[in-house]
């Protein structure tokens, strides 16, 4: 996955995996981040956009001596009954007018900037050696222009293919044009097969395309974000590595994929979860690597960080935390494997032992405190949302039990549902008429919007009072939502969370306040960048985006909320019955 700025510079690219070292990393290090840029020699203006319904990025430049555009894409299309997705970045420089003077710079790095690649000239390429494997740049630009970082006049279209490992051996221009056409066709066909609501289509399509980019198809895992250490707020140390798969996201991600009609992706994700459940002997971690491995040791790098924000972290110590909500989330993610006829394999059904295992884990931890959904590092509580996911997981287990006519499983799930519900009620704050963060602390917490969106509270007065209570303590004048207002391990929270804003809008739709839900939702949509991409956080003072980007959680929240609003608009009398 590549991140390319408006100067057509690849500021972030990790190869060969999401959590590998960057080979281009100016996003977090100007000094050691390397560079892969295509820019005019003099002054210019630029703009970026995606080709419609694709993940193919275009950067257009307008300079005094002419104009051109750079088309960037990673090949992806069906070939020999499987998807062809080589680890390659294709870049085309298209002349639009005049004779612009441009410069191409390519300086890949290894080991998070500690090792610079050595450029070795080949017959039709530049080979970069000294990294984990050979990186080759195949191009029809004069190699000396790139090696010497010289300006040159663009008189015709030019092509560049950067490859990790296996290089491009086929004819450059012909292969480029073919791969571009087939990749364009792939993305547009994928969108054609998507179920998209009648409203907010542009935003849902872009979010769906971004969600697809964040899935590691070999295992089905979906990462939280492709970047690391972009701060939640300037100079506050909340800089985390999100290039892993969080179990807490699974329920919401599967809901989005199911609404979109992409059952293949949902099935892959469910199978990834199945492997975790089946192979995990101890407690379930909140986060795993894309291959399902457990250790994600957190280290700090000697890099200056995004806009000077340190520390720069790789790995994430959240894997060591105890977060009990993951058991219910795991269970919810398994439900389609047992109940959805589009996914369910009658010839080789999964074992019910997986469901029993999850329920037994829930029962084992029911009375124990945990770090909660926001991963408090120094505080253990009996969190309302943990019990909510116990409750929801038990509901899912009951559906499975009925599908299999398993009375023992049904009774176990019903018992857990009852105990979980009793514990949720212990979090109720009668004075403020809301369900608070935990047994120990009944202050407002945005994760408790889920009590409404996941249908624990229904649609009546209790749910309405609860939403109003959370709104009173957590909402800004601009419809942004804080996670909470308490001090945490790092002090006061300054940024608002986009996913919390989407949960708020979705909860409003649930309780029948559809017009208000639309107002909140549409105000959030305006927070995206020019490409329609969301990060994790919004600064309430100036509206700037912060945190890792693109943030899968934010886009999943957008998709789920759009579908909820659309469904309520289709049922105007739903709350009158």
Q: Which helix (H) or strand (E) holds 371?
A: none
Asked if 389 and 327 touch (Cβ cutoff 8 Å), the reply is: yes
The answer on pLDDT for 344 being more than 70 is no
Residue with tokens 């105890």: 322
Structure tokens at 439: 């047994």
Q: Which helix (H) or strand (E) holds 132?
A: none
**Distance, CA of 496 to CA of 215 (rounded, Å):** 26
The answer on pLDDT for 487 being more than 80 is no
pLDDT digits (tens, 9 = 90+) for 118-177: 999 988 899 999 999 999 999 999 999 999 999 999 999 999 999 999 888 889 999 999
* Burial (Cβ within 10 Å: 0-12, 13-18, ≥19) of residue 541: exposed
Name the region of 209 (left: φ>0; alpha: ψ -120 to 50; beta: rest).
Answer: alpha
pLDDT in the model for residue 490: 65
Structure tokens at 25: 């990393």
Name the region of 304 (left: φ>0; alpha: ψ -120 to 50; beta: rest).
Answer: alpha
The answer on pLDDT for 573 being more than 70 is no
Please, what is the end-to-end C-alpha distance for the chain in angstroms?
A: 48
Nearest to 502 by CA among 565, 557, 564: 557
> Strands 287-288 and 101-107: what pairing?
unpaired
- Listed in sequence order, the residues at least 6 apart from 19 whose beta carbon sits closer than 8 Å to its beta carbon are 223, 241, 243, 244, 289, 290, 314
Q: Hey, CA dihedral for 101, 106, 107, 113, is it positive or negative?
A: positive
Alpha-carbon distance values, 515 to 199, 466, 505, 566, 571 (Å): 14, 19, 10, 11, 13
Percent over 70 (pLDDT), the chain: 97
**Distance, CA of 133 to CA of 548 (rounded, Å):** 27
pLDDT in the model for residue 236: 86
pLDDT in the model for residue 431: 96
The answer on pLDDT for 82 being more than 80 is no
Q: Which of 141-150, 173-182, 273-282, 380-389 has the lowest mean pLDDT?
A: 273-282
Choice between 391 and 254, residue whose per-residue pLDDT is larger = 391
pLDDT in the model for residue 575: 37
What is the pLDDT averaged over residues 436-452? 96
Choice between 279 and 546, residue whose per-residue pLDDT is larger = 546
Q: Where are the domains of the chain?
A: 38-185, 199-576
Nearest to 286 by CA among 341, 259, 338, 249: 249
**Distance, CA of 257 to CA of 259 (rounded, Å):** 5
The answer on pLDDT for 577 being more than 80 is no
The answer on pLDDT for 220 being more than 80 is yes
pLDDT in the model for residue 342: 72
Choice between 328 and 574, residue whose per-residue pLDDT is larger = 328
Cis status of the peptide bond prior to 311, with omega within 30 of 0: yes
pLDDT in the model for residue 237: 87
Structure tokens at 39: 């820019």
The answer on pLDDT for 111 being more than 50 is yes
Nearest to 449 by CA among 432, 436, 461, 440: 436
Q: Transcribe 442-472 into DSSP letters.
A: -S-BGGGGHHHHTTSSTTSHHHHHHHHHHHH
Q: Which of 118-127, 309-318, 496-505 has the lowest mean pLDDT?
A: 118-127
**Distance, CA of 249 to CA of 242 (rounded, Å):** 12
Q: Looking at the DSSP assignment, which residues form a beta bridge with residue 93?
A: 70, 158
Q: Under CATH, to which class is 199-576 assigned?
A: mainly alpha
Q: Which helix (H) or strand (E) holds 434?
A: strand 434-435
The number of beta carbons lying within 10 Å of the beta carbon of residue 386 is 31
pLDDT-derived band at 574 (thresholds 50, 70, 90) equals: very low
pLDDT in the model for residue 122: 85
The answer on pLDDT for 571 being more than 70 is no
Q: Which helix (H) or strand (E) holds 215?
A: strand 215-216
- Listed in sequence order, the residues at least 6 apart from 127 whose beta carbon sits closer than 8 Å to its beta carbon are 119, 120, 121, 134, 135, 136, 137
pLDDT-derived band at 346 (thresholds 50, 70, 90) equals: low
What is the pLDDT averaged over residues 411-416? 97
pLDDT in the model for residue 336: 85
Residue with tokens 């492997």: 275
What is the pLDDT averaged over residues 527-553? 95
Q: If you average pLDDT over every residue of the chain, what do you get?
A: 93
The answer on pLDDT for 347 being more than 70 is no
Choice between 502 and 263, residue whose per-residue pLDDT is larger = 502
**Distance, CA of 55 to CA of 51 (rounded, Å):** 7
Q: Hey, CA dihedral for 19, 23, 27, 30, is it positive or negative?
A: positive
The answer on pLDDT for 572 being more than 50 is no
């Amino acid at each position: 996955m590549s991140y390319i700025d408006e100067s057509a510079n690849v500021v972030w690219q990790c190869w060969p995996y999401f959590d590998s070292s960057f080979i281009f990393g100016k996003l977090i290090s100007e000094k050691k981040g390397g560079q892969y840029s295509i820019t005019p020699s003099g002054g210019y203006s630029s703009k970026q956009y995606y080709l419609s319904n694709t993940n193919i990025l275009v950067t257009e430049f307008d300079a005094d001596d002419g104009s051109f555009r750079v088309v960037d894409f990673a090949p992806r299309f069906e070939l020999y009954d499987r998807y062809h997705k080589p680890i390659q970045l294709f870049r085309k420089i298209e002349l639009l007018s005049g004779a612009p003077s441009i410069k191409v710079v390519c300086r890949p790095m290894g080991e998070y900037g500690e090792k610079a690649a050595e450029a070795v000239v080949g017959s039709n390429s530049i080979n970069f050696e000294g990294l984990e494997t050979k990186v080759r740049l195949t191009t029809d630009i004069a190699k000396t222009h790139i090696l010497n970082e010289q300006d040159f006049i663009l008189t015709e279209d030019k092509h560049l293919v950067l490859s990790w490992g296996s290089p491009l051996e086929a004819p450059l221009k012909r292969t480029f044009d073919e791969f571009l056409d087939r990749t364009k066709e792939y993305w547009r066909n994928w969108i054609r097969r998507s179920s998209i609501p009648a409203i907010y289509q542009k935003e849902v399509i872009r979010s769906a395309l971004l969600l697809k980019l964040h899935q590691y198809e070999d295992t089905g895992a979906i990462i939280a974000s492709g970047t690391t250490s972009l701060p939640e707020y300037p100079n506050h140390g909340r800089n985390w590595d999100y290039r892993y798969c969080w179990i807490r996201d699974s329920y919401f991600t599967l809901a989005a994929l199911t609404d979109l009609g992409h059952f293949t992706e949902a099935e892959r994700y469910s199978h990834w979860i199945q492997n975790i459940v089946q192979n995990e002997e101890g407690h379930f971690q909140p986060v795993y690597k894309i291959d399902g491995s457990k250790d994600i040791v957190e280290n700090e790098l000697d890099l200056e960080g995004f806009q000077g924000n340190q520390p720069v972290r790789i790995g994430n110590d959240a894997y060591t935390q105890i977060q009990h909500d993951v058991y219910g989330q795991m269970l919810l993610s398994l439900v389609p494997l047992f109940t959805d006829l589009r996914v369910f394999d009658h010839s080789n059904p999964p074992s019910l032992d997986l469901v029993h295992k999850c329920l037994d884990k829930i029962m084992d931890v029911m009375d124990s405190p945990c770090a909660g959904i926001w991963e408090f590092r120094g505080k253990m509580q009996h969190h309302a949302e943990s019990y909510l996911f116990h409750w929801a997981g038990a509901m899912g287990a009951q559906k499975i039990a009925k599908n299999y006519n398993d009375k023992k499983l049904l009774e176990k799930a019903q018992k857990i549902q009852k105990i979980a519900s009793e514990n949720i009620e212990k979090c109720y704050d009668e004075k403020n008429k809301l369900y608070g963060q935990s047994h120990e602390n009944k202050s407002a917490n945005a994760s408790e919007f889920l009590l409404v969106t996941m249908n624990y509270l229904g649609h009546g007065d209790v749910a309405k009072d609860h939403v109003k209570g959370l709104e009173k303590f957590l909402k800004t004048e601009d419809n942004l939502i804080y996670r909470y207002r308490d001090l945490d391990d790092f002090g006061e929270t300054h940024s608002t969370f986009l996913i919390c804003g989407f949960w708020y809008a979705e909860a409003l739709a649930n309780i029948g306040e559809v017009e208000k839900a639309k107002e909140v939702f549409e105000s959030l949509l305006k927070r995206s960048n020019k490409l329609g991409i969301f990060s994790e956080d919004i600064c309430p003072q100036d509206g700037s985006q912060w945190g890792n980007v693109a943030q899968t959680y934010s886009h999943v929240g957008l998709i789920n909320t759009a579908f909820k609003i659309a469904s309520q608009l289709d049922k105007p009398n739903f709350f009158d019955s």
